[in-house]
């Protein structure tokens, strides 16, 4: 049963098997891909934030947490950084 059914959506955080995941919508997103990289598909959008500094910190944390996985930092559709291309690290 969904305790929040019928309540207006507000920015909240929930815990997933990957850690704390924000449910806010933002301009910048941090995306975690399945084993095998981009071709294997996106596993989850880890976080979305309107502040680039915060999004970069989250990105760096996820890259450290998942060193063998592809993590991307995006500005909507534009890729700002990819963990498989260190030269793009913010």
pTM listed for this prediction: 0.68
Q: What is the pLDDT of residue 24?
A: 53
Q: What is the pLDDT of residue 6?
A: 42
**38-70 residue pLDDT tens:** 888 888 898 999 999 999 999 999 999 999 999
Q: What is the pLDDT of residue 3?
A: 37
For residues 47 and 42, what is the distance between their CA atoms, to the nearest angstrom?
Answer: 13
User: pLDDT band at 78, cuts 50/70/90?
Assistant: very high
Q: What is the pLDDT of residue 12?
A: 42
């Amino acid at each position: 049963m969904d305790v929040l059914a019928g309540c207006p959506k507000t920015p909240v955080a929930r815990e997933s098997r990957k850690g704390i995941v924000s449910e806010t919508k933002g301009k910048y997103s941090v995306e975690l891909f399945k084993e095998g990289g981009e071709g294997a598909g996106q596993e989850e959008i880890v976080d979305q934030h309107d502040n680039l500094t915060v999004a970069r910190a989250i990105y760096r944390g996820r890259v450290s947490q998942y060193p063998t996985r592809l993590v991307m930092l995006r500005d909507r559709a534009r890729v700002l950084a990819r963990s498989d291309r260190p030269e793009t690290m913010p």
